[in-house]
Chain A
């Protein structure tokens, strides 16, 4: 072989050639365009179509957005400003309506001197949620709680909150921040107390009502501690029955008596003053908090071995899933009075919350049932093999895994329920979307304004729902335990 090359001039390059520039078609933006937009005839046509759609949208709506007016007292004034600035016949968005009616959209018809109360309740909500939502992420928790503290206190000052309540909010929020740095699980106590506190802040009235409600479980716990040495069965029954009896029989009277001895009242606000996002968020949060536990119970009941329990759960779930939420809301507003003892008449928001909770609990149950079914059978058998009883097996082994699997479904049920809170408009409550926008349009100054209120409310809903879905993705990543 060496002969063949014997006569050739040996040439070995001893330095590397500098890398040649890639052809223009294969580098930079051109390459990206070629690969992502014009990789074939079909793709090219699609791209052109897409560009046309975008162009259509921009050409039709850009001038409307560009000519936004934020400062005006009425629609006619708005149009006048637009005509002055951009010439006769120019179109423009009149966001001034949002600016002027901001309080109405946020608080509904809540008394304006008490706006600080829902604001404080909303701020404290984040403190109550912190140990549940951000228990394992100190960085995020610090940011969330810090921002909440600053914003809540700032807003309360701006809204003219009394000094005593400012101090209260500051102590709770800053104290909560400090506690969360030491041991975040301690905040769970606050999370448990929060619902009663929130109800009291929103509706006002005597503080003894929520306190007496709280006394029920305390009495039950005392009964359990006292009777436990005697018989565990009697203790459990007593711990369940005594709070019920207390609530039905004595709580109301005790609250009235206590109020007579020592008045702990803040001004009461009736349910018909609620409206706007305050109403949506109240119903949404209450529904979310109540429907998850109810959904878990229903899902477990539907997978139970006990025939009666199982069939009751199936009937309930299928019934609720088979009818529209509007029908259930009409049941709440029209029929509930038929089903309760004559003369009872309870709050419309509470009725709506009950119906929304039942509705989303049925969907939740199906989502969680999917999670339970997806769990390998070995997990159940392992729990049995360890000798755990039913509730311990569910609590320690089955549910943590099943709930983790069903997080996306649970969160999309939450999102669906939050969106459905707009349907309360049909039972005469002031939701931000329809009733509030109608109310705004009913005034002479904003007659005929359609797009701006809808776009504004839609944008807020989008932010909240999109935020929830992003949080569920974060949670999924955080809880992922498998190695991929």
Chain B
């Protein structure tokens, strides 16, 4: 028994690189590495030769040249005299606008449709099934084109709103006008404008906006502190103080004060001459894209929500009721935390899909980053390689930011095991 030591390592032979499991994976990786490097070298070499043959180089200098084309809808000031870079930024902001609006609206639609599909009401459940199946099984492009065609073909022209007995009328208490060229919506106006913060490069932020953001962030922190205080009191005395009115006050009163201070009000659009003025005329491309993305992604989110709710077993809510929790707290403390665990990961990928699908904006002429950097700029400068590489890089970064942000949220709601 004394000589039961580990067997001596056999001497190394070259064949062990293949037959010995210890070395085989290393051999395989080296081969893969060489092949990948060879492929990369081949592609880069081809690109260099092709570029040289065409007399082109690879540089991003074109971004600082004059763009020379107009963009119908610009969140920051932009004229055709600005650079291609600024056009790309405008496109990026347009992508973000439609993506964020779409994500918010799709979440609402999805939650409502998902819950309604589980409703006891036969009619509502069937209607929602029809909605979900119709939107999930038909290409998004079709919905975008149909919604856009509804706007361009069915909506009245702006001058139909003219006269004492107009052929068309505005909706939502004379605040929104749907026309075949744009949708006129009210803007926020201030009687007591505090002026703007100039960030340079003609990008300005109104002080009022900054004040609102700060107040909301501050209110959120105070609310958390109130929550922590309530928890402390509950730990010490066993009874939780009523805090909802404090939270409500903290979140709303400062904002209301600011609204009163700045004299914030809606300014409804009205017909002046041939067009609506006073409000904001939103391009129909944006509205159609937003609606179609919302309804399409909403159908997918509805299925996710439904699966998430079904994933929480009935015993959980019954147990919560047996413990004496009220329905609201059952929802907040028992059902939602478990359902969210199932819902969040696929929801993240739906948000990502929505952001990527917003590149279908080219179908309706909405100038997102695909339309500016990957469209007109590319065509005008002939810099396919640089434009597309840059555009894909932007999408990639956006995707990574969204998934990183949502992963943080996910790690907070996910089940803590062992």
Which residues of A are interface residues toward B (Cβ below 8 A)?
A: 35-37, 39, 43, 46-47, 49-51, 53-54, 233, 305-309, 312, 318-319, 321-327, 330-331, 334-335, 337-342, 415, 419-420, 422-423, 425-426, 433-434, 450-451, 454, 457-458, 461-462, 465-466, 469
Distance between Cα atoms of A426 and B392 in the complex (Å) = 17
Interface string of B344-360 (1 = CB under 8 A from A): 00000000100011011
Q: Which residues from B are CB-within-8-Å of A47?
A: 121, 123-124
Contact B121 A43 (CB under 8 A): yes
Interface string of B140-183 (1 = CB under 8 A from A): 11100110010001000000000000000000000000000000
Q: Which of B119, B142, B153 has the most CB of A within 10 A?
A: B142
Contact B53 A342 (CB under 8 A): yes
B137 in complex: contacting residue of A306, A422, A461, CB < 8 Å = A461
Contact B142 A457 (CB under 8 A): yes
Contact B149 A327 (CB under 8 A): no
Q: Which residues from A are CB-within-8-Å of B396?
A: 319, 322-323
**How many cross-chain pairs have Cβ atoms below 8 Å apart between A and B?**
150
The stretch among B27-35, B71-79, B279-287, B322-330 that forms the contact with chain A is: B27-35
- Output the nearest chain A residue to B345 by Cβ-Cβ distance: A370
Contacts beyond the supplied A326-B370, A334-B378, A338-B50: 4 A-B pairs with Cβ under 8 Å: A51-B123, A305-B25, A458-B146, A465-B136
Closest CB in chain A relative to B80 CB, distance in Å: 24
Contact A466 B137 (CB under 8 A): yes
Closest CB in chain B relative to A352 CB, distance in Å: 15
Query: Given A309-B32, A461-B142, do A338 and B385 touch, yes or no (CB 8 Å)?
Result: yes
Distance between Cα atoms of A212 and B395 in the complex (Å) = 42
Contact A46 B119 (CB under 8 A): yes
Query: Given A420-B139, A462-B134, do A307 and B46 touch, yes or no (CB 8 Å)?
Result: no
Interface string of B379-399 (1 = CB under 8 A from A): 000001100100110011001
Distance between Cα atoms of A309 and B378 in the complex (Å) = 35
Closest CB in chain A relative to B94 CB, distance in Å: 15
Contact B388 A331 (CB under 8 A): yes
Contact B356 A334 (CB under 8 A): no
Q: Does B47 contact A (CB under 8 A)?
A: yes
Contact A50 B123 (CB under 8 A): yes
Contact A338 B121 (CB under 8 A): no
- Output the nearest chain A residue to B48 by Cβ-Cβ distance: A338
- Secondary structure of the B side of the interface? helix
CB contacts under 8 Å to A, within B349-377, are 352, 356-357, 359-360, 362-363, 370, 374
Distance between Cα atoms of A267 and B285 in the complex (Å) = 44
Contact A37 B122 (CB under 8 A): yes
Contact A306 B385 (CB under 8 A): no
Contact B395 A327 (CB under 8 A): yes
Q: Which 7 A-B pairs have the closest CB atoms?
A: A36-B122, A322-B399, A465-B137, A324-B356, A322-B396, A419-B139, A50-B123
Which residues of B are interface residues toward A (Cβ below 8 A)?
A: 18, 25, 28-29, 32-33, 36, 43, 46-47, 49-51, 53, 116, 119-124, 127, 133-134, 136-142, 145-146, 149, 153, 352, 356-357, 359-360, 362-363, 370, 374, 378, 384-385, 388, 391-392, 395-396, 399-400
Contact A309 B385 (CB under 8 A): no
Q: Which residues from A are CB-within-8-Å of B136?
A: 415, 465
Q: Which residues from B are CB-within-8-Å of A319?
A: 396
Q: Which residues from A are CB-within-8-Å of B32?
A: 308-309, 312
Query: Given A327-B391, A342-B50, A461-B142, do A46 and B121 touch, yes or no (CB 8 Å)?
Result: yes
Distance between Cα atoms of A386 and B237 in the complex (Å) = 60
Distance between Cα atoms of A423 and B384 in the complex (Å) = 19
Q: Which residues from A are CB-within-8-Å of B116?
A: 46
Contact A338 B123 (CB under 8 A): no
Q: Which residues from B are CB-within-8-Å of A323?
A: 356, 392, 395-396, 399
- Output the nearest chain B residue to A325 by Cβ-Cβ distance: B356
Query: Given A53-B127, A54-B127, A342-B50, do A327 and B374 touch, yes or no (CB 8 Å)?
Result: yes
- Output the nearest chain B residue to A32 by Cβ-Cβ distance: B122
Contact A450 B149 (CB under 8 A): yes
A433 in complex: contacting residue of B51, B127, B141, B370, CB < 8 Å = B141
Contact B142 A458 (CB under 8 A): yes
Closest CB in chain A relative to B350 CB, distance in Å: 12
Q: Which residues from A are CB-within-8-Å of B141?
A: 422-423, 425, 433-434
Q: Which residues from B are CB-within-8-Å of A233?
A: 18
- Output the nearest chain B residue to A331 by Cβ-Cβ distance: B388
Distance between Cα atoms of A37 and B123 in the complex (Å) = 7
Closest CB in chain B relative to A307 CB, distance in Å: 7
- Output the nearest chain B residue to A389 by Cβ-Cβ distance: B21
Q: Which residues from B are CB-within-8-Å of A37?
A: 121-123
Q: Which residues from A are CB-within-8-Å of B122?
A: 36-37
Distance between Cα atoms of A305 and B28 in the complex (Å) = 12
Distance between Cα atoms of A318 and B397 in the complex (Å) = 11
Q: Which residues from B are CB-within-8-Å of A469?
A: 137
Distance between Cα atoms of A43 and B388 in the complex (Å) = 52
- Output the nearest chain A residue to B375 by Cβ-Cβ distance: A330
Distance between Cα atoms of A331 and B392 in the complex (Å) = 10
Distance between Cα atoms of A35 and B119 in the complex (Å) = 12
Query: Given A322-B396, A326-B362, A434-B145, do A36 and B374 touch, yes or no (CB 8 Å)?
Result: no
Q: Which residues from B are CB-within-8-Å of A342?
A: 46, 49-50, 53
